[in-house]
Chain A
Amino acid sequence: MRRPLQYLALLGYVVFLAFPMVWLLSTALKTSREMASLVPTWIPRHPILSNFADAFGEQDLVGSALRSLAVAVACSVLTIVLALPASYAMARYRSLVSRFAVGWVLVSQVFPFILIIIPLFMVLRSLGLVNTLPGLTIVHVTFVLPFALWMLQGYVRAVPRELEEAAAVDGAGRIRSLVKIVAPLLAPGVVATALFAFISSWNEFLFALVVLKDPDVATLPLTLVKFTGAEGVVRLGPLAAASLLATIPSLVFFAIIQRRLRSGLMAGAVKG
């Protein structure tokens, strides 16, 4: 008697989680005539792909996707460059600075964004970085950094200190042991952190809304929201298609991170 009830509950969860996504897909495949009909159906009567093509033509969607891409790539590279040395120090040496960094990760969760974004906006304005992509990149990096530090120092901790010490015994210099021993073991963690930074930046809406007032520099989330502004039923198809396309990079990278996290690379390295 328990099992059927459990499956029923599980089915309920699957339906709740999946139905909005199924509907998004269904909308993306419908013709504008079908959207305007008064009886919505789950399965499109005449599925089409032209909404995706239309999405590319709409409202500079490609341009804003490219800008989002540029910001997200710059954000993940910068995050790694800045966070890697610091995370090594945090994992290997106990110091006041590392404790400050950990504290900041926690504190930054509690403060409402409004307290930071107003002065940040003023700082960017005085630097002439409002309405620029570098301005948004700086903001994204700053807000990804604490969590990236936290992630990376976990990966560094997972590389046994003994490996470095053993390399030193074998006569390898400091730099050499870092490059030859630590770097390869750390690579999956670095990739995971970089992808995390990419996803955070690619998905980010609020800071973009404040920093990029000019539609000519809008990133993808901003353009998507503007898309809805004048909402005729006719345009819902391309909107759904564009939303799906915008989700793909995050979804793919997220899937990769999931796998990386499970990889048993460390176990092999220590045993070898």
Chain B
Amino acid sequence: MTLTADRTRKPAADHRGAGKRSRQGRETFVLMLPALVPVLIFSVGPLLYGIFLAFTDARSGRNAVTSFVGLSNFGDLMTDADFWASFRIGLIWAVSVTVLQFLASLGLALLLNEDLRFRSFTRVLVLVPWAMPPVVIGLMWRLVYHPNAGILNSVLTDVGLLDHNIDWLNDFSIALPAVIVVGIWTGMPQTTVVLLAGLQGVPKELYEAGHMDGASTFRRFWSITLPQLRPVIVTITSLDFVWNINQFGLVYVLTQGGPGGQTRLPMLFAYEEAFRYGFFGYAATLGVAFVIVVLAVLGLYIWRQMREAN
């Protein structure tokens, strides 16, 4: 089969007119249907119903009577100190994980883009956290952070940085930073892989030109690499932010939100409201509020980045 043969046929195919197009439409619909039905019933539908629930006092009981309460859930949310505490922790978590993860991954991607030994080994190693079940990642880090049997206390004591064992995940001021480190570790694969692909897409000629003009390494990074990488950076940091602010499983396994709510991310808070206390409506309100916050943050961020790029 040669490609030239059907090139000549192509114009004919375009002239078949409207009858073919409507047949195509029907065909598309039939082919899409099996995938569309479950997504509509179990994903789009529930989502819309979830938004509706935010304006009701729905409870978890099977026969609980639900009534429409308008915006009163939102009022309760605005005055709920526990929510604001959780919201603050969520922002600290999402911003610091996203930023630190980005910086760490950019550094690693730059290294992996150089002609170093052990490069392919590291490229494989960096992918492993991606494949691990989040639950296992959580359990693994609990072993690392274990106050008595954990390796972290042991190593830090050996090098003289610690003189007593720290209970990393149960200490009021240390638990959140400790959990953030795990967040960075977990998300590094995706970010590194995407940034590395972006780096490999930067035209070599630009660097050669930079070299000719005598630009320093830093200068070339600042004036060539970063601007070229900008669309990739905006995309991956936006996605990371959304994933991080909606994080649940990892922190649930690590600390269950403790100690004393110091790591209770907004989604853990919402989960408890819904499935421990049974306040379905209120938890849905929190979800809706979160969509608004996330979209606002993302919109602002992407708008600013695009304006600077122009």
- Residues of chain A touching chain B, judged by Cβ–Cβ distance below 8 Å, are 2, 6-7, 9-10, 13-14, 16-21, 23-24, 26-27, 35-36, 38-42, 81-83, 85-86, 88-90, 93, 95, 97-98, 101, 104, 108-120, 122-123, 125, 138-139, 141-143, 145-146, 149, 160, 162-163, 165-167, 169-170, 199, 202-203, 205-206, 209-210, 220-221, 224-225, 228, 233, 236, 239-240, 243, 246-247, 250-251, 253-255, 258, 270
Contact = CB atoms under 8 A, between A and B. Distances in A.
B284 A118 contact: yes
Contacts of A270: 3
Q: Is the interface of B mostly helix, strand, loop or mixed?
A: helix
Q: Is the interface of A mostly helix, strand, loop or mixed?
A: helix
Contacts of A119: 45-47, 49-50, 53
Q: What are the nearest 10 A-B pairs in CB distance?
A: A115-B287, A254-B131, A86-B35, A119-B46, A89-B31, A203-B133, A115-B50, A142-B42, A85-B31, A119-B49
B28 A254 contact: no
Nearest to A24: B140
30 contacts: A7-B117, A10-B122, A13-B107, A13-B111, A83-B35, A85-B34, A86-B32, A86-B33, A86-B35, A93-B28, A97-B36, A101-B35, A109-B239, A109-B242, A111-B287, A114-B286, A118-B274, A119-B49, A138-B42, A139-B42, A142-B38, A145-B39, A145-B43, A146-B39, A149-B35, A206-B248, A221-B134, A233-B148, A240-B139, A247-B133
A166 B133 contact: no
A10 B149 CA distance: 28
A157 to B, nearest CB: 15
B173 to A, nearest CB: 22
Interface stretch (B76-84, B206-214, B290-298, B302-310): B290-298
B236 interface: no
B200 interface: no
Contacts of B146: 233, 236
A255 B130 CA distance: 11
